[in-house]
Each structure stands twice: as structure tokens, then as C-alpha cells.
A and B are shown apart, each in its own frame.
Chain A
Amino acid sequence: MEHTSFPPLSRVAICGGTHGNELSGVYIVKEMQKQKVEKIGSVSVISVLSNPPAIDVCRRYTETDLNRCFSDAKLSSTLTDSAAYEMRRAHELNAQLGPKGGEKAVDLIIDLHNTTSNMGVCLILSYLDWLTLHICKYIQTKMTSAPVTVMQLNDSNADGYSLDMLGKHGFAIEVGPQPHGVLRADIFNMMKRTLDFTTDWLQEFNDGHIFEGGEVETYSFLRSVDYPRDASGQITAAIHPQLQDKDFTLLQPGDPMFLSFSGETVKYEGEPVYPMFVNECAYYEKKIAFHLAEKITLKVPSISVKN
């Protein structure tokens, strides 16, 4: 593959509290703001509390999920008086960190999230980008204390709905399991280290280091599975104990998926797949018990900064 170069990454945004009850990111950003961190090495850093009212009441959002507001369609819509707070905030963030797809957008957005699912450290890419894939590859080699997985959502730029879409490059750092509204030191420490490795990489990149090409194993989103429900929409089963906490462990046909309240096991039928976001609290209302993914190994070219 041909070597690829990118312009220097001089402006980076670190966002926390995009969901107000995902506390690692909230406290990492609050600390950065308290310590007035504006530069890390050669990189100027903007630290952002994405959804302050949701943070204040320690809820995911106040009216609508902020992290679904950044598609091209939503960002170009005219805001009416009755527009949800998060829609207005998305437009504000687009002006501050973007505009999405524009020349003035920040070079990189790192959006900090937690999940109730047992996903460890998971780096989420909305779309494929050699630069962010290299950051992921670097973090994977450096984090020896915990496995790091890479997830790709396969969104087109236009449809990409998450906050990290605003920057020229972007990705989310998702760490779990952690209950929403809880701040665990071990999870905080893991997220902090992941962020530190990211800024280390940015330094090296800007300094001219050539990052060798290679392979990155990713989990590519296929589809979601909902809970079994009754006629009135009530859940009638829980994630089976043998699937609970088994994110990124192969799920084969015949494996237990759900255990109903009346004691029946519902089994998985289909091709072997990898479950992720198993029993994420926020997804009950989105009618998602878990996502399914296939493992895809991607080849990345060598990259370096363009001078």
C-alpha cells in the first residue's frame, strides 16, 4: 500500500459528558479545565463539556440524545423555537469545533464515553480513516494492562451522527463496564491512560515519525438484536447469564441469548458473530439488547505528517 501523509494535527478537542451520566469523561474534562490545560506538547487542546445541563442532573440527555444530532441532515436543519436543547447544542458545537466537513474544523475530536457493557477499552470509529486507525494500532501496542478493541460503525460521512464527526478526524473512547452515574477509579485510570497514549501519538506524528503500515483487527457493526417483548412492548426476558459480560466473545448458533422470566432459554440462530454493547442501559429505549459484529482485519499503509 502506498505511504500516505496528512497535515499536522495542531488543534484537538477532548469532549466529555456528551452523555451527562458517563462520568469518566466528565471528570477528565473537569480536571483539564481546573488545571487550565490548553496545550499538550505541540498540540493545542480544547476541552469541552458537551452537555452541561445533562451533566448537572446526571442524566444521559435532557430532551434528546446529543450523540445522535450530528448527521448532515440534523446540522443543516433550521432550529425552531421548540427545538430540543440538544439540537441547539449540536449546532453550537458544530460552530465551535466544526463546521463538519469544513476547513476550519478541529483536526481531531476525541469523545469520551462509558458503557454498562463489559467492553473494556473500545475505540469506536464512525468510518474508516487511516489516521485514526493508526492511533488505534498505537494504543493497542502500548496498553498492556487491558485489551483494546476497535469498532467500526460503517457510517457514511453524511449519515455519521456522533460528535466525533465534527472534526477532520475523530473517534470515541468507550470504557466499561461502569454503571451510569458512577465514577470508578479503575475505569477512570484506563481512560486517562488511553487518552495519554493518544496525545503521545499526536506528538510523535507532528514530530515527523513514520508509522509503519500493518494490520488492524476491527469489529464491524452488522445489526442489532432487541429483547423479546410481549404484545404491550414489555420485556419478557433478560440477557442470558452465559451471554452477559461476553462482549467480543464469539456467539455461535445454538448459544444461549436470553433467559425468559418463565425460565425458557432463547438461543441464537445465524452465522457466528461477535456481540457488543451487551446489556447497555441506554439502549433499552432504543430497542437494542446487543449489537452484532463481524471481525474484519484491515490493512493500513504507513503514514507520516505532510510538511
Chain B
Amino acid sequence: VAARLDEARRVAIFGGTHGNEMSGVMLVNLWVQNNTEVQRKGVEVQPFITNPKAVEKCTRYVDTDLNRAFTPENLSTLGGGDLPYEVRRAQEINRMFGPKGSPEAYDVIFDLHNTTSNMGCTLLLESSKDHFNLQMMNYIQKSIFPASCLVLLNEHPLLKYSTSRSVAKHPVGLEVGPQPQGVLRSNIFESMRDILKHALDFIELFNAGMEFPPCTVEVFRLSERIDYPRDDNGNIIAMVHPNLQDCDWEPLNPGDPMFQTFDGKTIHYQGSGTVYPTFINEAAYYEKQQAFATTRRESLVASAIRKA
């Protein structure tokens, strides 16, 4: 029996949550000028630049990371002009597309990101119980085959964070790499554009009454953050090992090379079992003390869904 879910009538596409992640900035700018490409029957689609000041400076953020700013504290705090720019911006976005957690919130928000890591196309999932999102991701994967698109699930109680897309009932992150910050690569741009096309097609089909049968979706569940080895002053003393660099999603086994010191010595992975590393050598994560994250593979079953 299919789960009956509400129509996804209000959809937003966020670009520039990090101002130097260029695919999303350029796509959203394009669609703000002319939204024909993202129009679908029965859906209101709003392309939106979330962090215009950061986009203007071509920097990740101005005061603080917008994609960590949507905490309950930040969203409710007073302080007006004294607050960091991104906190004020988060409150504004919450008013426009939320309020987060309420019935008035947007149904779906796609948040467009790039990474310097060799992650290919990755869909970011915040809840293993979001059957609508699981079905959408399954649809996208089938549609782009033989090209691939993996699903990263971050439901970790300590490692999950309050994203701009979390304002919506169904938050969907799109992460495409590798692309340097501030650079626009044509293939990366077109890949992201293609994924969004299929995502919007799914929503149109769902709203028109199509039933999606149960399906299995393989996900990579975020497990642990691994930092660079550092000295007593907090300075990095080793780099991601050449054998691990660019090997996102490939198995990392205990004993495999992990870091290389500046004088050429190898530091090996000491975990208890095989993990699947991701976000390997992401530029923005040096300051967040993360060289890479480990994940574990899991199969989730999405129930059949249909519009209520």
C-alpha cells in the first residue's frame, strides 16, 4: 500500500549558499533571468541566491558559514544589525521559505554545491525516513544511468548540521566535484543542470498522481570525521596521501596509506574495518578540521508513495 504524501507544490533552488561554488551561482543566475528551463506543470519553482554578499566577493562566506547557520538558536535570536551577516540572512531565508518545521515551509529545496573533492555527482540526504526524497533520488539515479550519482546520508547525531535547505520539508543537497572554488567547469555545470532536470521531472510526475513502487536505495552513511595530523600549534604536518587523493567512495582498508608527511613518510589508516571515504581534501574543511569523512554502505528501502 502506497504512503500518501502531500503534493510538492512549492519548490526552491538555492545557489550561492557558498559564494565561490560556481555551478549553483551561475545556474541560479541564469534561471532568475529566465526560468523557462525549470518550469514544470503543477509546481512553483523559485531559483534563489542565498548568500549574495559572498557571491559578490566570490568567497565561501562573509562572517560565518551560511550552511551551518540554520540552528534553532540562530533562527530565534534577536540582535538585528549586530548579528553576523549570515545569521541575519538565515533568519530572512527562514521567513521566506520556512518557517523551518512548520506546515507553511516550502515542500522541497534543492541546494547547489560544488566540492574540490573527487566526489562526482552526490545527492545529500538528511533523513533515512524521507521516503519522498529516497524515491526522488532513486528516480534520478535511474534516469542518468549509466552516469552515476551516489547518495550521502548525514543523520549522525554529532556530525549533522543545520543547512539552508533544512528549512524545507524535503531538503535535497546536490554536491558536484571536483571543481576548484571560484572556477566554472563546463562538464560540472552541465552535470548539475541535468540532475536538477530529472529531479524536477520527478516532482511533476508525482504531483500528476504517478505512483512510485517500493525501491531499494544504496546510501553511504556518514560515520566519522578524520582530521589532518597536526603539531602542538595546530599546524598541518601531513597531506592526504597520493594513494587516497581523488579516491572518494573507494574502499579504505585498515593499513592503507592515508597521509604523507612533508618529508615523505606514510601514515596508515588505523580503523577497525573497511570504510568509504568522501570529501577527501575539500578546501573548505581545512578550517573545520577535516581531511576526509568516512562512510559505511547501507541499503534503505523506500516505501511506495503517491500523492494524497
Chain A residues proximal to chain B, CB less than 8 Å: 27, 30-31, 58-59, 116, 177-186, 188-189, 234-235, 238-241, 244, 259, 261, 279, 281-282, 284-285
Query: Which size bracket describes the interface of B in this complex?
Result: 20 to 34
CB distance from A195 to the nearest CB of B (A): 13
Assess A238 versus B189: contact at CB under 8 Å? Given A181-B181, A261-B26. Answer: yes
**How far, in whole Å, are A185 and B281 apart by their CA atoms in the complex?**
10
B262 contacts partner chain A, Cβ-Cβ < 8 Å = yes
Assess A179 versus B180: contact at CB under 8 Å? Given A235-B26, A238-B186, A261-B30. Answer: yes
**How far, in whole Å, are A188 and B281 apart by their CA atoms in the complex?**
14
Sample 15 A-B pairs with CB under 8 A, ordered by A number.
A58-B287, A59-B59, A116-B183, A179-B179, A180-B181, A180-B182, A181-B181, A182-B281, A188-B262, A239-B185, A239-B186, A279-B183, A279-B185, A281-B181, A281-B183
**How far, in whole Å, are A185 and B240 apart by their CA atoms in the complex?**
6
**How far, in whole Å, are A284 and B57 apart by their CA atoms in the complex?**
12
**Residues B181 and A188 in contact, CB atoms below 8 Å apart:** no
CB distance from B59 to the nearest CB of A (A): 8
Contact of B186 among A182, A234, A241 (CB under 8 A): A241
CB distance from A106 to the nearest CB of B (A): 25
**How far, in whole Å, are A282 and B260 apart by their CA atoms in the complex?**
28
CB distance from B236 to the nearest CB of A (A): 7
**Residues A181 and B186 in contact, CB atoms below 8 Å apart:** no
**How far, in whole Å, are A30 and B241 apart by their CA atoms in the complex?**
19
Contact of A244 among B185, B235, B242 (CB under 8 A): B185
B74: chain A residues at CB < 8 Å are: none
B239 contacts partner chain A, Cβ-Cβ < 8 Å = yes
B215 contacts partner chain A, Cβ-Cβ < 8 Å = no
B260: chain A residues at CB < 8 Å are: 185
Q: Mark B267-292, 1 if CB is under 8 A from A, else 0.
A: 00000000000000101101100000
**Residues B182 and A281 in contact, CB atoms below 8 Å apart:** yes
B46 contacts partner chain A, Cβ-Cβ < 8 Å = no
A31: chain B residues at CB < 8 Å are: 262-263
**Residues B185 and A183 in contact, CB atoms below 8 Å apart:** no
Q: Which residue of B lies closest to A284 (CB)?
A: B182
B245 contacts partner chain A, Cβ-Cβ < 8 Å = yes
Q: Mark B177-201, 1 if CB is under 8 A from A, else 0.
A: 0111111111101000000000000
- Which of B29, B178, B183 lies at the interface centre, i.e. has the most chain A CB atoms within 10 A of its CB? B183
